Amino acid sequence: MSEKDIIPYRPGLEGVTAGISAISDVIAAENRLIYRGYDIRDLAKHCTFEEVAYLILMGQLPTRAQLEQFDAQLKSQRELPDEVYAVLRALPRGGNLMAALQAGVATLGMLDPTADDHSHEANLKKAIRLTASMATLVANGYRILQGQSPVNPNPNLGHAANFLYMLFEREPEPLHAEVMNLTFILYAEHGYNASTFAAHVIASTLADIYSAVVGAIGALRGSLHGGANEAAMEAMLEIGTPDRAEAWVMEKLAQKARIMGFGHREYKTGDTRAVILKEYVRRVAEQTGRMDIYQIQDIMERVMLREKNLYPNVDFPAAALYYMMGIPIPLYTPIFAAARIVGWSAHVIEQHDNNRLIRPRSDYSGPRDLPFVPLDQRG
Residue 374 included in any domain? no
41 found inside a domain: yes
Q: Is 264 a known active-site residue?
A: yes
Provide the 3-class DSSP secondary structure of residue 115. coil
Q: Which residues 6+ apart lie within 8 Å of 97 measured at CB?
A: 138, 141, 142, 145, 330, 331, 334
C-beta neighbour count of 8 within 10 angstroms: 6
Q: Are residues 173 and 138 in the same domain?
A: yes
pLDDT of residue 11 exceeding 80: no
Do 204 and 246 fall into the same domain?
no
Max intra-chain CA distance, the chain? 78
Q: What is the CATH number of the domain that holds 312?
A: 1.10.230.10
Q: Are residues 104 and 240 in the same domain?
A: no
Q: Residues 160, 295: one domain? A: no
Give the CA angle between residues 90, 343, 357 to the nearest 5°: 90
pLDDT over 90 at 28, yes or no: no
Q: Check whether residue 161 and residue 288 sit in a common domain.
A: no
Domain interval for residue 305: 228-324
In a domain, 155, yes or no: yes
For the chain, how many structural domains are there in total? 2
119 dihedral zone (left: phi>0; alpha: psi -120 to 50; beta):
beta
Res 233 pLDDT > 50: yes
Kindly name the residue from 118, 176, 264, 347 that is annotated as catalytic: 264
Q: Is residue 1 part of a domain?
A: no
d(CA 295, CA 229): 18
pLDDT tens digits for range 270-326: 789 999 999 999 999 999 999 999 999 999 999 999 999 999 999 999 999 999 999
Q: Phi/psi of residue 283, each to 5°?
A: -60, -45
> Mean pLDDT in the chain?
94
Classify residue 359: in a domain, yes or no.
Answer: no
37 and 166 together in one domain: yes
Q: Which of 159, 208, 315, 352 is catalytic?
A: 315
Alpha carbon distance 195, 330 (integer Å): 19
Strand residues in 40-125 grouped as ranges (E):
none
- Inside any domain, residue 164: yes
The pLDDT tens digits of the residues spanning 249-265 come to 999 999 999 898 887 66
pTM attached to this predicted model: 0.93
Together in a domain, 174 and 318: no
Cα separation, 361 vs 365, in Å, equals 13
Let me know if 315 is a catalytic residue. Answer: yes
> Residue 311 gets which letter from DSSP?
-
